[in-house]
Amino acid sequence: MHDRMASTGVRARRTGAIALQDDAVQFRVWAPNAQRVDLVLAGDRWATIPMERDHEGYFAHTEPNVAESQRYAYRLDGGDERADPCSLWQPDGVAAPSAVVRPERIARSDDGWRGVTRQDLVIYELHVGTFTPEGTFDAIIPRLRELKELGITALEIMPVNQFPGGRNWGYDGVLPYATQDTYGGPHGLARLVDAAHAHGLAVILDVVYNHFGPEHAYYREFGPYFTDKYKTPWGAATNYDGPGSDGVRDFVLDNVRMWLDEFHLDGLRLDAVHAIYDLGARHILASIKETADDVAREHGREIVIIGESDLNDPRILRAPERGGHGLDAQWSDDFHHAVHAFVTGERRGYYSEYGKPEQVARALQTPFLFAWTYSPHRQRKHGAPPDPDLTGERFVVCIQNHDQVGNRAKGDRLPTLVDHPAKQRLASSLLLLSAHVPLIFMGEEYGELRPFPFFCSFCGEELIEAVRKGRKEEFKDLVGGGEDVPDPAAVETFQSAKLSWSWPQGSTHAGLRRLYQDLLTARRTWPAMRDFASRASRLLDGDIVEYTRGGGGDGSMRAYFNLSAETRPLPRPSNDQETVAFSSEATQCGGTRDAGARPDELLPYECLVIAPASHVPPGTAGS
């Protein structure tokens, strides 16, 4: 493949506009489906230049003295101009020519950055377009300090690859290498990453390798990017194991390397890996992890690869030498479903098999509630037991995320679905005390009430209408014939999702944020909360969960979760060496329990933590 080597020694991109010495640029594109490819230089420097083809279907041309932001496109076999599939920048939108950008020339200040270990991850998922009124990378930077003070250690940014228009979740992206122009493009992303590192925050990017967006995606003209052997719910499956798949795999692995090496990202969240199909001897997921490990070793910093999967399959994390893909962590939906169904009472769809108190207890003990056990919703056995050596920090859990909120008819958030604020505090306590990596969806920490509905800004009216019809059909049995589903193409739908970013002093929002801050402090400082292996959970009297973490003595703690609407006796009060370390119903968290009281009972939906007195710093919710 004539691999180039970057100055760091890490293999550089093979395709795209690749910077060489003396301002020269090599334009290189994989287009085995074309007989001829012309490079079209646009703007003031206009030219049409035939490119040279090699035996693998790569076309290349080196041009001297190319300015930053020089526009260019490719013309295949005399057809229409197309953006570079590996474009890093589309300053005029997805349908316009690409632009030259040199990431290595962007000013950086994070040479000493070494990342965040997996055990220290507290992930904050955000959507760039709705996190601030401006909806840009630069607008996020002033909020980093508050996130750091809250206890967040990593941002997880929903996909930012170039999509049509200016409003989209990002999973309909068309150009995986290009950073969305309306967010600030590649330069804006680089500034955000640099600022996050200065605040001690890692940045994980959500990437989509299972399909391409439907509009302005011309990959079939270039090469065999797709396969008909498999199907995905969102479009044609990506070709990872069929004829011509070597070039497709290189396309994805170079993308992984680019984000981690050239843009200094600290990890990737791989969208829906259960829809990534590969029957080859070396699965693409394992190759992605190998690529990430190469960059991590070269730069001497932590890099994490997280897979989203609904398979409950330990092979995603299992080491390659034992037949697995070796990813660092994976999302575990069972925790969310068990907690959500319990606190909301919802039993529709996949929630029909969740919501029992014993499932809440088990979700604290194991990431997979279905582990080759019968699933009534699926009408078959599902999942497999996690390997014994897979400790808790290998699993990411949540009580809200973009999917579970946004894939509701109206994008309702959890505080609008529970009938008592104490249930929200209970759910948050279950999340933050769990021996897993917590993921917090933007605004969750203060009980954001504004919705997060699905929105998009496709250009073609036929596609827009198909999306509208599909959303109404999906939710026709949940709301009035689907008529109440917000129009995904309406600007108002997008605007409704903008965060309020407000927690007035003395409000329930401020109390909830205090709860998050106190428990995230506990995750950093309590010895038991640093132990991801030693944990036990059991259900007492049908509706009280007793949960212990830590190896015993001063390194242990126990929590009680009252799952009932009644006041209940505390099963085992604290002794002279212990103290109430935390209460979700403390007045500073928005509840009714006075600080300093020695409780012998649990309030309705209360979480109470008993721990050695040395655990509890002054000023926390239990002191």
**Residues whose CB falls within 8 Å of the CB of residue 571, separated by 6 or more in sequence, listed in order:** 540, 541, 544, 546, 560
98, two tokens: 């690409």
602, two tokens: 């649990």
298 in catalytic set: no
89, two tokens: 């920048």
Tally Cβ neighbours within 10 Å of residue 391: 18
Helix axes 421-433, 333-344, angle to 10 degrees: 160
Given the residues 250, 261, 262, 271, select the one marked as catalytic.
271
56 in catalytic set: no
Task: Please provide the distance, in angstroms rounded to a whole number, between the alpha carbons at the two ends of the chain.
Answer: 62
Burial of 156 (0-12, 13-18, 19+ CB in 10 A): buried
Half-sphere exposure of 191 (CA within 13 A, CB side): 13
Q: Is the dihedral of CA 219, 223, 226, 228 positive or negative?
A: positive
C-alpha distance from residue 385 to each of 275, 311, 337, 366, 372 (Å)? 21, 11, 18, 9, 7
Element of type H or E holding 463: helix 461-474
285, two tokens: 């997921």
Nearest Cα neighbor of 164 from 456, 453, 454 is 456
Given the residues 308, 393, 444, 448, select the one marked as catalytic.
308
CA–CA separation, 385 vs 370, rounded Å?
8
187, two tokens: 């330069």
What is the per-residue DSSP string for 311-336? S--GGGTS-GGGTS---SEEE-HHHH
Cβ contact 531:569 at 8 Å = no
Q: Which residue shows structure tokens 């390659």?
A: 320
C-alpha distance from residue 591 to each of 141, 420, 585, 586, 605 (Å)? 32, 11, 4, 5, 11
CA–CA separation, 13 vs 369, rounded Å?
42
Cβ contact 326:287 at 8 Å = no
CA–CA separation, 159 vs 268, rounded Å?
10
Tally Cβ neighbours within 10 Å of residue 111: 8
Give the CA radius of gyration of the chain: 25
C-alpha distance from residue 519 to each of 515, 583, 603, 622 (Å)? 6, 10, 19, 10
Residue type, 253: L
Mind telling me the catalytic residues?
271, 308
